[in-house]
Structures are given as C-alpha cells and as structure tokens.
Amino acid sequence: MKYIETERLILREWTLKDVGDQVEGLSNFETAKNLTVPFPYTEKNSIEYITKHLKNDANSYAFAVQLKGTEKVIGGTSLDLREGEYNGGIWLNEKYTGKGYGTEVWMARAKFAFEVLKADKLENGYFEFNNRSKHMQEKIGHKTVGKSQKFCPALNRDVVEVLTRLTKTDFYEALQSTKLQAVYDKIKILKPKVD
C-alpha cells in the first residue's frame, strides 16, 4: 500500500520482497553505526522486522522508501506513537546518500505526521558524531532538547544521543526556504490513514 509520494520517491508498506534490499542497506557498518539495529543485520532480522510491519496501524507506521520508476527499496522510515509522543527514525542505503533523498523522506514523514496524524511535535535524535543527520534535522527545523545514552550494536558500546524535537511551528517556519518549500510542494499524501 502506497502512502506518500515525493518528487523522486514512494513511501509504502513493507513487503517480504524487500528483504534483500533491506539487508543490503542495513548490513553496512557505515549505516548501522548511526542506528540501533542489530549488527550484523541478517536476512532473519529483516524477515522478523518486515513480518511485524507488513500492515501499518494507527500507532505505528513503517515505510519502505522506494525509488520511483524502479522496484528498488533504498531505505526506510518510521513513525511510532508511544506514551503520547511520536518517535521513529530513518536510514538510507549508503549508495543513495548525499543526493537529497533523506531530506525528501524526512519532510514527507513530517508532513504526514502534522497534516494527517495531527501531531503537534515529533521527538527524535542522532548520535553525537552523526553530522549528516544533525544537519538534515536542523535544516527542517529540529531543535536540540537534551542528551541521552543509547547502545549501538554496530559499535558495541553506548553512544551519546542528542535528543531533538520538531514542532509543527518550527517545521512550517523552516519552509520559508524556497528550496525546502519546493520539496514540500511535491509531497503528495496518497493514503491518509490506516482504515
């Protein structure tokens, strides 16, 4: 089921056909060191994750990120409601980073959360050495709200996580940038909610 379309990407539900692409993306150390996914990331891990997230529900959205015009899944993103707060993450296959896809996905996720789910803020974070994620988040309006520690399986140690928050107001303020507004204008919500 397709949920969101951006200029170059489709955000849709996962299917078991995506196992190969998910393993390709997440078994890479350079990607996994920024995440809390199991490492090494195996086919078994992928089958477990996808089986759990085959259907979205009102408290948990998981999207495979597919490159338009192809069947290729280049990443994933999620949006979970826990104790009244929206959390979740994003990853892209390293081969597809640095081309603006992350910003497209992250903005699509925010638009869905604010306009469809009526969230007023999103809670996130990034490991303190992850300057790319920091930059991507700050660009669309995330503000630092604290610090925490998380275990990173790929690094096999605790890592300092910078905690961030994106309010609806800060997101729409960030859209004053013409470049971001152009990305935002091309984001189409195809399926508003779970039935």
Site residues (vs ligand COA, CB under 6 A): 31, 34-35, 89-92, 97-103, 126, 130-133, 135-136, 139
Tokens 């709200």, residue located: 145
Considering beta carbons, is residue 60 or 97 the nearer one to ligand COA? 97
Sorted by sequence, the CB contacts under 8 Å of residue 126 that are 6+ apart come out as 34, 133, 134, 137, 161, 162, 164
Q: Give the residue from 89, 123, 82, 124 showing the smallest Cα distance to 105.
A: 89
* Nearest distance, CB of residue 190 and ligand COA, angstroms: 22
Label residues 21-37 b or e (16+ Cβ within 10 Å = b). Answer: bbbbbbbbeebbbbbeb
* 132: three-class secondary structure by DSSP: helix
Considering beta carbons, is residue 90 or 108 the nearer one to ligand COA? 90
Considering beta carbons, is residue 20 or 100 the nearer one to ligand COA? 100
Considering beta carbons, is residue 107 or 119 the nearer one to ligand COA? 107
* Nearest distance, CB of residue 5 and ligand COA, angstroms: 17
* Nearest distance, CB of residue 130 and ligand COA, angstroms: 5
* Nearest distance, CB of residue 173 and ligand COA, angstroms: 16
Residue nearest to ligand COA (CB): 102
Peptide bond before residue 153 is cis, with ω within 30 degrees of 0: no
